[in-house]
């Protein structure tokens, strides 16, 4: 990892302390959904997670060990397992990130008391006793019902080591590596769905030129294989939207598509992250930083379009998928926390970042088939925060929960006509919309109001009315704490039919997901 609804009969249950700020009355917004033009299905894997050996993302976040007083299932935190199951996490990427390209898989197998202790060079220079290794990760993914996505080390280990690791995980033969796995407590092979061929090879994964990275991908992909029946997908390490030079989206994507071998998927990383050392605080920020962050999140759209256009030159049939397997907000870490642990609070602003980004992915289902927010627990735009035995769900987690009906749904184009929201030199549509037909046959709308002050009266072209949930709060940085873990959470939201059409009154700084009936 990197160093667019409801009239007078509105029913809206909000916390008693909530107050919806107004500015010259509600903005008038029109939404037109074209159900005659369905797009490719929204792959559920775009709701994936990323878990790197970084800070307390693994230790204390996922893993506490079987002997911990914290309730656990074979060493995995029970509260975390239950929370991840509830939102049906589809895929988890591990062990990194930058951590992957200094990771020797053999350090994390066998009896835990005999595993070596290594220094986490990239993230804080702290020690890692390797208690959480291959067996622990693969069993964890299986426990929560997620497909495992393992990134191999192409920066400091040769292809032979990676090939052995994959054989250890996937072979069912009477051979030494499979027998070693059996001796370590796992009889059947795991189903390894995704294999990352390195990570950020333009940066911490080797500082490679685009051409050299493409050659490395072709080389490792040739030697690292799983049984064909498993259908493992190899993911080439692609470009970034955050820095220029070797990670440039145009040059890096061009080289990989041209000379990277037989590609199945190409990764892309982008963080809604201000450049420079001072990225601003996660809470206690002003409106300028609210607008800046949402505008940065919206940059995902032109970046994905640019990368897709380059891929189209070599793959017009779109057989190679685009995986945005690192994305999210990135601010200054919380004061007083360990340097290099990248721990940050998570507020209503981050919920908007998540919703806007997921909406973008919904509009690019022809290419984007998988994504992984960075990161799952206690790191950057986390879904979950833990502190010893305490655990809380962040506003970002709640967005992923609200957006579950979009998994495997069929998206439709949605045209939004209304005012812009402008602040501090940043201008964007006030309301963003995503529309899709769910697997249950219902038509769903996601509505995001980016204006922190003004509500929107949204009139759609859809017959009927709508009911669902909404996420909002009294302040731009409304967030949950361990002392008040339910300060912000989804509540009931519904609209009415006006002239036969579904209309909604969307509060300022809010995200709503509704089913049209």
pLDDT digits (tens, 9 = 90+) for 65-75: 999 999 999 99
Residues annotated as catalytic are 200, 326
* Structure-block tokens of residue 201: 């090879």
Answer whether residue 6 shows pLDDT above 80: no
- Measured distance CA(369)–CA(379) in Å, rounded: 24
- Residue 15 has a pLDDT of 36
pLDDT digits (tens, 9 = 90+) for 149-165: 999 999 999 999 999 99
**Among 457, 348, 467, 447, residue whose Cα is nearest residue 15:** 348
pLDDT digits (tens, 9 = 90+) for 464-477: 999 999 999 999 99
At residue 301, the 3 state secondary structure works out as helix
- Measured distance CA(511)–CA(516) in Å, rounded: 16
pLDDT digits (tens, 9 = 90+) for 303-314: 999 999 999 999
- Measured distance CA(51)–CA(148) in Å, rounded: 11
Mean pLDDT of 400-425: 98
Using the CB atoms, write b or e for 81-112: b if 16+ within 10 Å.
bebbeebebbbbbbbbbbbbbbbebbbbbbeb
pLDDT digits (tens, 9 = 90+) for 290-346: 999 999 999 999 999 999 999 999 999 999 999 999 999 999 999 999 989 999 999
- Residue 5 has a pLDDT of 29
Spell out the domains of the chain, with CATH numbers in brackets.
11-39+411-516 (2.60.40.1180), 44-408 (3.20.20.80)
Answer whether residue 192 shows pLDDT above 60: yes
What spatial distance separates the first Cα and last Cα of the chain, rounded to whole Å? 42
């Amino acid at each position: 990892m990197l160093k667019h609804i409801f009239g007078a009969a509105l029913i809206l249950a909000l916390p008693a302390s909530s107050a919806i700020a107004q500015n010259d009355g509600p903005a008038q917004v029109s939404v037109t959904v074209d159900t005659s033009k369905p797009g490719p299905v929204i792959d559920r894997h775009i709701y994936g997670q990323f878990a790197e050996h970084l800070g307390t993302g693994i230790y204390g976040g996922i893993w506490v060990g079987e002997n911990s007083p914290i309730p656990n299932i074979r060493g995995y935190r029970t509260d975390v397992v239950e929370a991840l199951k509830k939102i049906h996490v589809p895929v988890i990427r591990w062990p990194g990130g930058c951590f992957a390209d200094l990771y020797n898989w053999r350090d994390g197998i066998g009896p835990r008391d005999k595993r070596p202790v290594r220094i986490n060079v990239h993230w804080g220079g702290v020690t890692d006793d390797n208690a959480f290794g291959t067996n622990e990760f693969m069993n964890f993914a299986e426990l929560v019902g997620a497909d495992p996505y393992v990134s191999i080390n192409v920066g400091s280990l040769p292809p032979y080591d990676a090939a052995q690791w994959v054989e250890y995980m996937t072979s069912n033969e009477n051979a030494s590596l499979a027998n070693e796995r059996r001796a370590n407590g796992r009889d059947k092979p795991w189903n390894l769905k995704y294999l990352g061929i390195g990570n950020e090879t333009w940066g911490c994964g080797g500082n490679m030129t685009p051409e050299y990275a493409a050659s490395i991908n072709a080389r490792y992909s040739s030697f690292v294989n799983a049984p064909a029946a498993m259908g493992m997908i190899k993911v080439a390490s692609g470009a970034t939207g955050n820095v220029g030079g070797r990670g440039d989206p145009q040059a890096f994507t061009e080289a990989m598509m041209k000379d990277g071998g037989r590609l199945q998927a190409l990764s892309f990383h982008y963080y809604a992250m201000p450049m420079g050392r001072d990225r601003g605080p996660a809470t206690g920020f002003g409106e300028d930083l609210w607008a800046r962050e949402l505008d940065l999140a919206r940059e995902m759209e032109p970046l994905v379009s640019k990368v897709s256009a380059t891929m189209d030159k070599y793959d017009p049939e779109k057989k190679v998928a685009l995986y945005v397997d690192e994305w999210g907000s990135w601010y200054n870490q919380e004061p007083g926390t360990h340097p290099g642990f990248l721990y940050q609070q998570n507020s209503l602003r981050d919920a908007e970042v998540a919703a806007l980004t997921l909406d973008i992915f919904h509009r690019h289902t022809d290419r984007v088939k998988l994504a992984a927010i960075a990161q799952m627990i206690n790191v950057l735009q986390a879904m979950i925060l833990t502190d010893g035995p305490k655990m809380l769900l962040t506003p970002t987690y709640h967005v992923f929960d609200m957006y579950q009906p979009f998994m495997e749904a069929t998206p439709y184009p949605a045209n939004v006509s209304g005012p812009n929201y402008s602040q501090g030199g940043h201008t964007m549509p006030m309301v963003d919309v995503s529309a899709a037909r769910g697997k249950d046959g219902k038509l769903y709308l996601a509505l995001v109001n980016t204006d922190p002050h003004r509500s929107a009266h949204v009139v759609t072209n859809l017959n009927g009315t709508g009911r669902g949930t909404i996420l909002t709060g009294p302040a731009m940085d409304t967030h949950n704490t361990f002392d008040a873990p339910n300060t912000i959470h989804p509540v009931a939201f519904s609209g009415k039919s006006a002239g036969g059409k579904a209309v909604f009154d969307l509060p300022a700084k809010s995200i709503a997901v509704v089913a049209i009936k």
